[in-house]
Structure 1
Amino acid sequence: MNLEVREENYIENLNWRYATKKFDATKNLKETELEKLIESVRLSASSYGLQPYEVIVIENPEIKEKLKAAAWNQPQLTDASHIFVFANFKKIDASHIDDYLNNIAETRNLSREDLKGMEDMLKNTVLNFTEEEQQIWASKQTYIALGNLLAAAAEFKIDTCPMEGFNSAQFDEILNLEEKNLSASVVATVGYRSDKDPMQHLEKVRKSKQELFHIL
């Protein structure tokens, strides 16, 4: 497949995707499909590459029912094959940065001394944020990962619905996130659209390029 065809397919797939409101509860992701989505999220960009969040992937029906009740009984939570809960760190300390730098050193065959400048920069920046600033910053990073998930799922012809309509405190309690220094930031339900979902037949509504982009 040449580059031009791949580019056309990518745009077509983005046009194909929509926020699925009604999933087919009888269709579940294959393990290979789930792994591709997980890897797509893992490869997401983040500020400094620090990835100040974790992702909880739920397939257990009982947990999905509890989360549905904490999301005003929206059916996507139980009808979708899986739920991706993006949870940001509530507090970032030196250990998170040390773990990251150790990973860099091991992956790139470097010494920690080689990374001293990066260590000083990260600790003088991130550790000087207030706790509230850390949470806001970390939460923003989860949305970058969410975007990667949505685009990757569209490429694989898997349906998604990004969701902010949930009680974060209740999600934290159900998933025991508080004790893990995490808080639910944003959610995506993942699976396959129902034939009965009328949303799939609607034209996609977006701003025109002239409205949205300003090239200077």
Structure 2
Amino acid sequence: MNSIEKLKWRYATKKFDSSKKLSETQINTLINTFNLTATSYGLQPLKMLVISNENIKKQLLEYSFNQSQVVDCSHLLVICIKTKINADYIDQKFDLEKKIRGTSEEIIGDFRAFLKNSIANKSIDEIENSAINQAYIALGNLMTVCAYESIDSCPMEGFIPSKYDEILKLEEHSLKSVLLLPVGFRAEDDFMSALKKVRIPIEESIINIE
């Protein structure tokens, strides 16, 4: 299948086959996809949990409005935002750039100072909202790669983040959960898989300016 056919194949999977598990290679592909996702200024204010532990998934079910995908999926991906994006964090990122690229401070110093000043002048809510927006970019990237790799997925906002944070002890890691992506393989009796996609006609959703 070409890329468009893959996207047509993809749907928000409602029922996973719990007996089928992603391979280590497939999981590593998704991990690398997340890590390679574009973020504002390359700061990567995100972290992703990869949960395969069945007991933990069962604990999370109640706080996912009992959506069965959370427990039936092969792996539950939890996209989180980092809550400590500050001057120290920016220094870590620029020091990493210097180490990997050999970039001199003379070249990146002004940009480093600009970002520190920008962060210093933003509220906690502004910083977190920016990170949440970038979490959606990561989610979209993961969904597209899942489709390309013939992995089923179901993007989910319907859960109670505070309870996830508590169960997964995210505060200890300066994280907050914001999005879920159960991944795995569709069940043969998931009626949604056979339904035609409903989309606004392209001529109504696209404006060409020539």
Same fold (TM over 0.5): yes
Q: How do 1:19-38 residues align onto structure 2 when only pairs under 5 Å count? A: 19-38=12-31
Is 1:159 the counterpart of 2:152? The answer is yes
Q: Give, in angstroms, the shift of residue 90 of structure 1.
A: 2.4
Contact 1:88 1:182 in 2 (8 A): yes
Is 1:144 the counterpart of 2:137? The answer is yes
Please tell me the root mean square deviation across aligned C-alpha atoms, in Å: 1.1
> In 1, distance between residues paired with 2:176 and 2:22?
26
> In the comparison of the two structures, how many residue pairs are matched?
209
> In 2, distance between residues paired with 1:73 and 1:122?
42
- Tell me the residue number matched to 1:80: 73
> In 2, distance between residues paired with 1:209 and 1:125?
39
Partner amino acid, structure 1, of 2:88? S
TM-score w.r.t. the length of structure 1 is 0.93
**Unpaired runs of 5+ in structure 1?**
1-7
- Tell me the residue number matched to 2:180: 187
Partner amino acid, structure 1, of 2:125? E
**Unpaired runs of 5+ in structure 2?**
none
Give the fraction of aligned pairs with identical amino acids, expressed as a percent.
43
Q: Give, in angstroms, the shift of residue 211 of structure 1.
A: 2.0
Q: Give, in angstroms, the shift of residue 47 of structure 1.
A: 0.8
> In 2, distance between residues paired with 1:108 and 1:90?
27
> In 1, distance between residues paired with 2:178 and 2:51?
15
Is 1:59 the counterpart of 2:52? The answer is yes
Contact 1:56 1:86 in 2 (8 A): yes
Is 1:18 the counterpart of 2:7? The answer is no
Q: Give, in angstroms, the shift of residue 73 of structure 1.
A: 1.1
Q: Give, in angstroms, the shift of residue 91 of structure 1.
A: 3.6
With 160-169 and 114-123 compared, the bigger mean Cα shift is at: 114-123
Deviations 1:64-104 (A, max 9, x none): 01111110111000100001101012241111111111111
Q: Where has structure 1 moved over 4 Å in runs of 4 or more?
A: none
> In 2, distance between residues paired with 1:33 and 1:193?
16
Partner amino acid, structure 1, of 2:108? L
SS of residue paired to 2:25: helix
> In 1, distance between residues paired with 2:16 and 2:162?
26
Q: How do 1:118-137 residues align onto structure 2 when only pairs under 5 Å count? A: 118-137=111-130
> In 1, distance between residues paired with 2:41 and 2:133?
13
> In 2, distance between residues paired with 1:207 and 1:128?
41
- Tell me the residue number matched to 1:172: 165
Is 1:104 the counterpart of 2:97? The answer is yes
> In 2, distance between residues paired with 1:119 and 1:173?
34
> In 1, distance between residues paired with 2:134 and 2:127?
11
> In 2, distance between residues paired with 1:64 and 1:199?
23
